[in-house]
Structure 1
Amino acid sequence: MPSHVCGPWQSRTVTTNPSSSARKAQEALGIRLRDLRMDAGLTGRELAAATGWHFTRISKLEHGVQTPTDQDIRTWCAACRAEDQAADLIAQSRAVTSMYMEWRRRTRAGMKQLMLSGVPLYERTKRFRIYELNVVPGLFQTADYARAMLAVWIEFLDAHDDLDAAVAAKMARQSVIYDGTKTFAVLLEEASLRTWSGNADTMLAQLDRLLSVMTLPNISLGILPAMIERQAVGSAGFWIFDETVVALEIPTASIEVTQPQEIGLYARMFEQMSRAAVYGRDARAIIIRVQSEIDGRN
């Protein structure tokens, strides 16, 4: 579950009230619209005259009281001679009401449906870029590791207990990694190898699974060693699907980032962290060392 909320360079306080967060996002959109108007040297009344709207509508949009339609944004940008901003603003507007999807609402019918909900996105994505801080990505999890993790979240969210079906659905999703038309660039913090989900035997088997999947030709698995000098540090795990969406998860919600500019920031963050990671033999050595440490305690 939450493994996939913040901007990539800094930790920001994230409210767990989705309606409050959507409100803040709508206000941020209004500020961007206001800035475009001001950059164009227009007053609110002048913009209203240019668009054919009542001037009070300009105020409502700028203060986040009213959500603009896609056409409203195109009209606004045209009047402000900023047509190049329209696509990004439209993406931001669409994200206002959809970026938070409450886990409790989505898990009422059980975790199986939540596992299945991501399948269409997985199937149409060709390039996956995955960064995790303290868990193994779901696509690489063993059934026992997934079972231990899902059991925790079913209890935490007081969700319908369909653990067996949820694990089966999660395992079925993994078929995408054997599709040679897809590529997977994966970055794991060393902490993700050391954070247990289940018991020692579960972790040993999970690390064996990582050693196996990293041999697949379409998978690049990098490990970010602890205590190294690096240019960037992620504040949350995130998944980039092609160039269309970034998915992040927190304990109470899933967040989808669709603004092209923000997706670009996550891609830049991923690239910077990639340069600090180790691959191939060096990555395998870290995984095997952690296995030895676990085995020594077992």
Structure 2
Amino acid sequence: MSTDFQSARVALGARLRELRVEAGLDGKGAAARLGWQRSKVSRLENGKQTPSAADLASWAVAVGRPDCVSELQGRLTGLESQYRSWRRQLARGHRARQEQGIAETGGSRTIRGVEVALVPGLFQTAEYARWVFRANVEFHRIEKDTDEAVRARIRGQEVLYEPGRRFRFLIWEGALHLRICPADVHAAQLERLIGLVGLDTVELGVIPLRAEVRRTPAHGFWIYDRRLVIVETISNEMWLEDEDTISLYERAWDWLAESAVHGTDAQRLIGRVRASLDRPT
């Protein structure tokens, strides 16, 4: 879990504890008044569990401070607007998140990204995307809407051909080797990348496995203009908007870009990975 997220949750828990103490209640008394297990009160106060909006409303009433409902729920909204759980975002499938991504991309002139495990969604073929979504459906145990999600992803790629936009992406070579789909689908995806290298709106760099780097490609991230950074983890998606954090990710992107190959060198590298799929195992 992100340190920033945990710190924010601990701060919310401390505020809940403060309100309880002001009401003259101990943990057992608060649990009894709320009709909860004592352990839930402890987890919330110690930042070990994220409360729901209903939990916070009940807490405010239980401690005799209904006037604090808006404050507490505002803290939760701020926390969740930055750290969005996949469980909630994908509760009804992938399509809604795809539509949100299309909107963010459409509102940006320059997008910089780093991917260390997969081909970026903007560059995926329909079949490669289908395997990505299938895996997510199984892993997150969510509603299956693969066909709708694939259509949305491909529709979102239309922005690649709009004059005046810039898509500057770095892909770690390991992502080109990683097999999440059958060899023929993987081969077609690599061929798609080779074809994108010459597109005037796309700057595609590949960080070779043997490259010397100043910054390790620890995880993927996307930078939308200079207003937003999106980072994916297994459980959450982080939407980071403060200037210091954006500057930090910009520096990470710049350092990784120093080790990347571009143009014909990138095409050759991708081509070698593509050719390796034809070799007998």
When normalised by structure 2's length, the TM-score is 0.73
What SS is found at the alignment partner of 2:106? Answer: helix
- Partner residue in 2 for 1:117: 100
Q: Could you tell me whether the CA contact under 8 Å between 1:143 and 1:171 is conserved in 2?
A: yes
Q: Could you tell me whether the CA contact under 8 Å between 1:230 and 1:276 is conserved in 2?
A: yes
Q: Does 1:99 align with 2:82?
A: yes
RMSD: 2.4
- 1:1-298 matches, cutoff 5 A: 14=1, 22-25=5-8, 96-297=79-280
How far apart are the structure 2 equivalents of 1:168 and 1:203? Answer: 19
- Partner residue in 1 for 2:40: none
Residues paired across the two proteins, number: 221
Unaligned runs of at least 5 residues, structure 1? 1-13, 30-63, 65-92
Q: CA deviation at 1:234?
A: 2.3
Q: Which amino acid aligns with 1:231?
A: R
How far apart are the structure 1 equivalents of 2:259 and 2:92? Answer: 41
How far apart are the structure 2 equivalents of 1:215 and 1:23? Answer: 43
Deviations, residues 7-58 of structure 1 (Å, cap 9, x unaligned): xxxxxxx26xxxx9645136689xxxxxxxxxxxxxxxxxxxxxxxxxxxxx
How far apart are the structure 2 equivalents of 1:129 and 1:95? Answer: 25
When normalised by structure 1's length, the TM-score is 0.69
Deviations, residues 106-165 of structure 1 (Å, cap 9, x unaligned): 222221112112122111100000100111000000011000010000111111111111
Q: Could you tell me whether the CA contact under 8 Å between 1:136 and 1:192 is conserved in 2?
A: yes
How far apart are the structure 2 equivalents of 1:292 and 1:22? Answer: 43
Q: Which amino acid aligns with 2:267?
A: R
What SS is found at the alignment partner of 1:129? Answer: strand
How far apart are the structure 1 equivalents of 2:98 and 2:113? Answer: 17
Q: Could you tell me whether the CA contact under 8 Å between 1:95 and 1:258 is conserved in 2?
A: no
Q: Could you tell me whether the CA contact under 8 Å between 2:172 and 2:217 is conserved in 1?
A: no
Which has the bigger relative contact order, CA under 8 A and spacing at least 6?
1
